[in-house]
Amino acid sequence: QEKVDEDGKLVHHTKYTICISSQVGCKIGCAFCLTGKDGFKRNLSAGEITAQILMIKRDNQIAENRRVNIVYMGMGEPLDNFDNVIDFLYNVNNENGLNISMRNITISTCGVVPRIYDLMNLDLQLTLTISLHAPNDKIRSNTMPINNKYGIAELLCACKEYAKKTGRRVSFEYTLINNVNDSKENALELASKLKGMNAHVNLIPVNDVKERGNVRSSKQAIMNFQNVLKNHGINA
């Protein structure tokens, strides 16, 4: 939607965020995720990833020249399809392509540490988001098997290097699950792990999906968790 003032000057327009997938299925097997329950089928090509944007813009009648934000938060692990994702980034950023600024693109990853360093060295100025979801290795390994390969200390070290080299703030997704990772002690531990980082924490109440059996945290528990982080200087 667009609004104009009395002189006909554009003063507001809707911002669009398009969520795209990088794979058909997913190998990661996170305990709270229903999307990857059926396993991994294949990687998407750079062209197939781009087609998602074109189709969504067409189906929603979004003008070709309208600025959009792109988030890799759909199906799949983007850094597990690294080459095609990078080709996509260069293609859509090209002025002869969709001409989308890297600063309008977010890649969400469960934490494939070697590929975070590869991404960092490309210095693309996009936003990196980490699916963290736990303050320590014990909880994270129980919910995210990849933590058995790349623990939290190793992952956060890569994030700090990424933020330092690129100058870009790293975001952390934290899904709140009742009596799993939502206690005051969990919040304090998370705050201590992120202390001193240029970071933002996005708190997400888990969806009550019967196939997974997780229960979302209460509203009060969520607010208490957020307040602990804020009181320790963590943007949340």
**CA pair distance 33, 13, nearest whole angstrom:** 34
β-pair partners for 7: none
pLDDT band at 62 (very low <50, low <70, confident <90, very high): confident
Comparing C-alpha atoms, which of 174, 179, 181 is closest to residue 139?
181
pLDDT in tens, 202-233: 999 998 777 767 889 999 999 999 999 999 99
State CA 189 to chain mean position distance.
21
pLDDT in tens, 120-140: 999 999 999 999 999 999 999
Tokens of 45: 């090509």
Entry pTM: 0.90
pLDDT in tens, 2-21: 455 555 555 555 689 999 99
